[in-house]
Amino acid sequence: MTETTQTHTTRPDDPDDSYEAYRPRSPEFRAAMDALRGLREDLFHDAFAYRPLPRKEPAGRFLGRTKGRRREYAAWSRHAVVGAAGALALLIGWSDAEGSGLGLLIGLLALAPVLLTLVRPVGAFWLSLAGTTVVAVIGTTYTEWPWLPGSFTAHLVVLTVVAIRTRPRTAAWMWMLTAAYGFVAETAFGWGHYYTNVAPMLVFSAILLLAVTVWHIRRQAEEKVTAQRTVTAHERSRRTLLEERTTIARELHDVVAHHMSVVAIQAEAAPYRVENPPPELEKAFATIRENAVAALTELRRVLGVVRAEDYEVPDAPQPTLAELDGLLANVRETGLEVEKTVTGAVRELPQGVELSAYRIVQEALSNTLRHAPGAGARVEIGYVLGGLGLRIVNGAPPNPSLVKPSPGAGHGITGMRERVGMLNGEMTAEPTPTGGYEVTVFLPVPAASESGT
């Protein structure tokens, strides 16, 4: 005989384990509960919290140019607009009561919620409904009801300002509560009045709140576009930097490979230059050659990683400053007048420095052709103690109106800075007072390299 044990799990808060209590709710019920939570969050939770309207930062074509007191006044322009709207509501309420003392009270009840929107926006909405009720009781009009003229204007202003300061969902809740207030006032207390203005209030407020909602949506879209443009610009800059570093790595491959090949050949030939070399010396040179060959193999693997699909290995060796005259001749054929000045004792520099200096001059002259067509340029090369100095400067374009924006991604200056940074050098690139552009570079050369040349 087999005994079967059934496990029955009950919730701590439901000893009867009622299925009905935990039945899944329908989507409609969840939507209604979410809506009620949104109503509580927007209009009931911390309704009278202190949220002052911030000053406006002067920006734009006109406000950005203001200075002194005008700039200070412009910062309070939004507060002034709200105050003027409140003053208008006060004037309408006071004049509707024919300038009596009661009219002044009605006007102040219209002014108070408008001014409260500057510091407690949600609380201003509730104060506007309360003020509307008080004015409807003490007022003497029989036509404009339940919103007397001053209250009508004040409530529209309050709805608009609060909607601007909060969000579209809050605007929808305020409109619905305004409609509910008008429906209750018209059905329960509308007797004795020839005309109610609930419908005009709902129509005008709907138009204003719709306009504010469209403004909110457009502003959020602009913020998203701005953020996306910032991210895109950052990614483009990062991609440009990586492309330039990859290009530099490809070019330096030939330089490093040449040096490693020389090390391997010299290590292999060194034992034959000495009669009866010791076994330890032969073993040391063999180890040097093996390490050099292994380094060349790993270097080829690294180049395969950074090489693009369309990359072609150059047939000619990487250029140096000795080929600079040929570069200047090609540039002159395009119509650019270039002068070359060399100072100091010309000497052979490390191949990496020579290659970087050549590429920097090449890129600077290419920028001159793109951004200052027709302008002259000057290339200055200075062999100084401790390094190499470069200065490439061009004049202003003869006809700036014909200069078109370059479609490039800004690789020129980025590539130059990467080459200079790789050699621990210094670089400045800035416009000249005459309207041209100047690039100044210093590439340090270690003393050991100089003495070894």
Tell me the chain's radius of gyration from C-alpha atoms. Answer: 40
| Higher-scoring residue by pLDDT: 380, 401 | 380
| Higher-scoring residue by pLDDT: 112, 20 | 112
Q: What percent of the chain has pLDDT over 90?
A: 31
Task: Give the amino acid at 372.
Answer: A
pLDDT at 390: 95
pLDDT at 402: 58
pLDDT (average), residues 41-61: 82
Confidence of residue 4 (pLDDT cuts 50, 70, 90): very low
* 312-339 residues labelled b (16+ CB within 10 A) or e (exposed): eeeeeebbbbeebeebbeebeeeebebe
- With CA atoms as reference, report the closest residue to 100 among 134, 52, 138, 50: 138
Gap between the Cα atoms of 327 and 310, Å rounded: 25
Confidence of residue 277 (pLDDT cuts 50, 70, 90): confident
Q: End-to-end distance of the chain based on CA atoms, in angstroms?
A: 101
Confidence of residue 261 (pLDDT cuts 50, 70, 90): confident
pLDDT at 370: 81
Q: What percent of the chain has pLDDT over 70?
A: 80
pLDDT at 252 over 80: no
Residue 137 to residues 102, 145, 147, 367: CA-CA distances in angstroms? Answer: 12, 10, 10, 78
pLDDT (average), residues 303-320: 60
Task: Give the amino acid at 192.
Answer: G
| Higher-scoring residue by pLDDT: 388, 71 | 388
Lowest-pLDDT choice from 73-77, 110-114, 194-198, 267-271: 267-271
Coil, helix or strand for 381?
strand
Gap between the Cα atoms of 104 and 100, Å rounded: 7
| Higher-scoring residue by pLDDT: 206, 371 | 206
Question: Which residues touch 217 (CB under 8 Å, ≥6 apart)?
Answer: 168
Residue 443 forms beta bridges with which residues?
A: 388
The bridge status of strand 377-384 relative to strand 338-343 is parallel
Gap between the Cα atoms of 78 and 61, Å rounded: 18
pLDDT (average), residues 124-137: 93
pLDDT (average), residues 78-93: 92
pLDDT at 7: 45
144-191 pLDDT tens trace: 788 999 999 999 999 999 999 998 999 999 999 999 999 998 887 767
Gap between the Cα atoms of 249 and 244, Å rounded: 9
pLDDT at 45: 86
369-395 pLDDT tens trace: 888 888 889 999 999 988 999 999 998
pLDDT at 453: 42
